[in-house]
Amino acid sequence: MTYVSLDADGVQDIIDKLTDYKNQSETSWETVTSTNRMQDYPASLAGRSNTAGNHADALDDEVKSLKARLAAAKAANEGGITTTADDGTIAYWLPEGTEDTDDNVKTHNQVDKVNQARADAEKMVDYSINGCTPEEWDELIGRVQANQDDAVYANTILANIGPGRLLDLPADIQDQLTFTHPQGISTTERPDAGEDLADALGHMLATASRTWDDAKAEAYANRLVDYAEEKGKNLRIGALNQMLAASRQADIDSDGTPEEIGLDYNDVFLVTLASRLEDYSPDPGSFQPQGRDAYNKEFPIGPTDNPLAGVVHAMTGNLDAATEWLVPNPDGTTTPVSANDSIKHAKRIQQLIEQGRLQNQKWTTDWAMLADRIDRLSSPSMADPARQYKESARATATSGILNGLGSGEDPLSLSPDARRSVAAVMARHPQGVDASTEKGNEGAPLGIGSGSDGGTSYYPLFTDRALTNLIGQVSLDEWASTTLGGAMTDYHTQQLQDAVNRYNNTGDAAALQEAVRSQSRTNAFFAGAAAHQLVAMAEQTDSAHDDANSVTSFLAGLIPVAGSVLSLGVDLGKPFGTDNTDQARNQAEKIESTAAAANNRQLTLALLNSGLYNEEDLKAVLERADNLGYVLDIIIDQDGNNLTQNMTPEQLADSNTRIGLSEVGNNLQSSTNPDLNNLTKTRKDGFDDGWGTANPDSSTAPSHTWGEGETDAQDDED
């Protein structure tokens, strides 16, 4: 590439002087020829006229050439193709080997596009002040949208419209295209004009920002927030939110269906915006509007009650920026996030989430998607010295978000997309979910374990309250329930198998006891979380009736059962209203008994097929429960053989098989391996512990303070 730098003012001065000289020479020549004519041609000027004209044309060509290059340099500078040097010079460019002609300079520096963008910027401002017809608006917005992802066009628009005016445009345009009748009724032929413009401006902010260096990105972000905070301009934050809400499509979970995520921005621009908006403080001073501002705009564009609404959505498309914002690392340390620091980060993230409303599903969906997307990031290279820090920061951000979403004392109501995002994160970290079902929050939101590559792995942990609220929501969605339930089943199956192998090799039953206890505790916690939500929703005056009616519809997906038929569903009857708390508690009891039975059957089946019990042990089970021989014979024959190993899912789901498994589970012992005789009690105790942790018979939210043992419910601020 060839860059030609020039001093814009100096070149303009040369152009002006050459133009003046040319004009002066033409005037002087006209004076000479006129005087010669008036004096009856005393001098012979033959041929001199052509010479003078040629010189004038040469000067004109030189002026045009200089103008073309000055216009190209200005266009390249405005369009972001080149930048202003420290000494104030600007430049145009040409590809290597390209001749420096007027046409080439104009083409490669996109002068026509810049001129169109300048004209469109001027029209935007004019229409926002003086109005336009719907047809004129259609023509302009169509052209703007067609060019919104072009960096040259976007940079030129932003170079010709200041940040304050930019933030005013959407509401002003909507006002100009809306007519309010004397009766107070407003009508418009273009109800989406303001939002359409804000969306296009959001695309241009993203497109242009990707061409900026970090210094320019930071400066422009600060200017945007400065103008959004300007006194008397309370609608500007809504416009900024609407701009940042612009989306692009991406299939983030590879299911063939694209999701809407934030646009791709310069990271420094976005982090600076988020950090400033986190402490958004509009000027409260008095304001005396003048001119077009002397009336109240009736049609604000974008949400004005939450300064972070737009930037959080934008972060869903900029995961490195999101992690940097949520888990700041100003010193650039490569040391992993500590447990204590993860608590501080989680508390701050919760405070960010609390700037909006947990009842706002758009807000919580963006946060849940952000957690899911950050958690999906691939591991940094082993050669990256900051690998451990990055992984710990991502896990901290993910944990902070989910704990923040689950922090409310009232029942949570997430969108289906948010429920699936939550389940997807938890399904990738079953060890964190399992550990979090322990009563109390003694640790921190950042779990630390051993990775598959032999290194350290990091995963999210959850408070009792957050896990209760989130599991309650997961239970309302079939995909979410089966996805998380399947992951937990695989995890617990592997844990049990590893424990069996260890017992067989060492005779140490501790791991086996823990595997049974943790699986029972987790299954019970899941059921208790659904029951807690049921009771809490029943006590709410604005109970979400549809959710209440289906609160356990997919609970079976969360708790493994013996067979493919999901039989844990509880008939809830009519939708719950505000006067049926007793009925809700009755249903909670049904959930408890049904879940306990399902847990018994599933663990019994796993233990029977583990090889831990010999024929004598199983024949003894028949003797201890001889009054139920007609169903026990389905599970164990008279010779003590386990008959479940080759059963089909349909056979396992048969009612008599289920009764038989339950009875075997209640009587399963070993005369040769006495360490196994406590497993039934371990299963029951584990279930009782998990069930109680989620406060299933109460609307009182469980504990949400890190660093506690078994304490009463309280908030972080307690």
At residue 187, what are phi and psi to the nearest 5 degrees?
-135, 150
Over residues 663-713, the pLDDT tens digits come to: 999 999 998 888 899 999 999 999 999 999 998 877 788 999 997 654 333
d(CA 147, CA 520): 58
H or E segment to which residue 4 belongs: strand 2-6
Q: Which residues of 257-292 are buried (b: 16+ CB within 10 A; e: fewer)?
A: eebbbbbbbbbbbbbbbbbbbeeeebeeeeeeeeee
Provide CB contacts within 8 A for 442, sequence distance 6+: 707, 708, 709
- Average pLDDT of every residue of the chain: 86
Q: Which residue has the tokens 């374990």?
A: 449
| Segment among 35-44, 374-383, 525-534 with least mean pLDDT | 35-44
d(CA 521, CA 515): 10
Residue 286: per-residue pLDDT: 44
Confidence class for position 49, pLDDT limits 50, 70, 90: low
pLDDT exceeds cutoff 50 at 541: no
Q: Quick one: tokens of 31?
A: 């004076």
Q: What percent of the chain shows pLDDT beyond 70?
A: 85
Residue 288: per-residue pLDDT: 44
pLDDT exceeds cutoff 90 at 583: no
Q: Quick one: tokens of 332?
A: 């650039």
Q: What percent of the chain shows pLDDT beyond 90?
A: 60
H or E segment to which residue 206 belongs: helix 193-209
Contact 285, 230 (CB under 8 A): no
Rounded average pLDDT over 496-508: 95
Residue 554: per-residue pLDDT: 65
Q: At what angle do helices 151-160 and 111-130 cross, to 10 degrees?
A: 40
Contact 621, 668 (CB under 8 A): yes
Alpha carbon 289 to chain centroid, angstroms: 38
Give whichever of 179-183, 354-358, 380-384 has the largest mean pLDDT: 354-358
**Residue 19 or 408, more confident:** 408
> Domain ranges in the chain?
2-103, 112-181+189-293, 327-612+673-693
pLDDT exceeds cutoff 50 at 290: no
Contact 412, 358 (CB under 8 A): yes
pTM of the model: 0.88
CA nearest to 472, candidates 197, 262, 702: 702
Over residues 91-126, the pLDDT tens digits come to: 988 988 899 888 998 899 889 999 999 999 999 999
d(CA 137, CA 307): 29
Rounded average pLDDT over 322-344: 95
pLDDT exceeds cutoff 70 at 498: yes
Residue 556: per-residue pLDDT: 64
Q: Quick one: tokens of 147?
A: 């060019």
Over residues 598-650, the pLDDT tens digits come to: 999 999 999 999 999 999 999 999 988 766 667 899 999 999 999 998 888 88
> Following DSSP, what letter does each residue of 585-652 receive, concatenated?
HHHHHHHHHHHHHHHHHHHHHHHHTTT-S-HHHHHHHHHHTGGGHHHHHHHB-TT--B--TT--HHHH
Contact 51, 89 (CB under 8 A): no
d(CA 171, CA 298): 9
Confidence class for position 65, pLDDT limits 50, 70, 90: confident
Contact 709, 438 (CB under 8 A): no
d(CA 527, CA 595): 6
Q: Which residue has the tokens 């109501």?
A: 413
Confidence class for position 571, pLDDT limits 50, 70, 90: very low
Q: Quick one: tokens of 233?
A: 């301009």
**Residue 629 or 251, more confident:** 251
Rounded average pLDDT over 29-33: 68
Q: Strands, DSSP E only, in 398-462?
A: 446-450, 456-460
d(CA 42, CA 38): 9
Over residues 252-272, the pLDDT tens digits come to: 888 889 999 999 999 999 999
Check residue 87 and report its DSSP letter: T
Contact 18, 59 (CB under 8 A): yes
Burial class from Cβ neighbours inside 10 Å (0-12, 13-18, 19+) for residue 571 reads: exposed
H or E segment to which residue 249 belongs: strand 247-250
Rounded average pLDDT over 651-665: 91
pLDDT exceeds cutoff 80 at 151: yes
d(CA 509, CA 679): 10
d(CA 527, CA 523): 6
User: Longest C-alpha distance within the chain, in Å?
Assistant: 146
**Residue 260 or 66, more confident:** 260
pLDDT exceeds cutoff 80 at 390: yes
d(CA 524, CA 530): 10
pLDDT exceeds cutoff 90 at 510: yes
Q: CB neighbours (10 Å) of residue 564? A: 10
Contact 75, 111 (CB under 8 A): yes
d(CA 551, CA 530): 7
Residue 42: per-residue pLDDT: 76
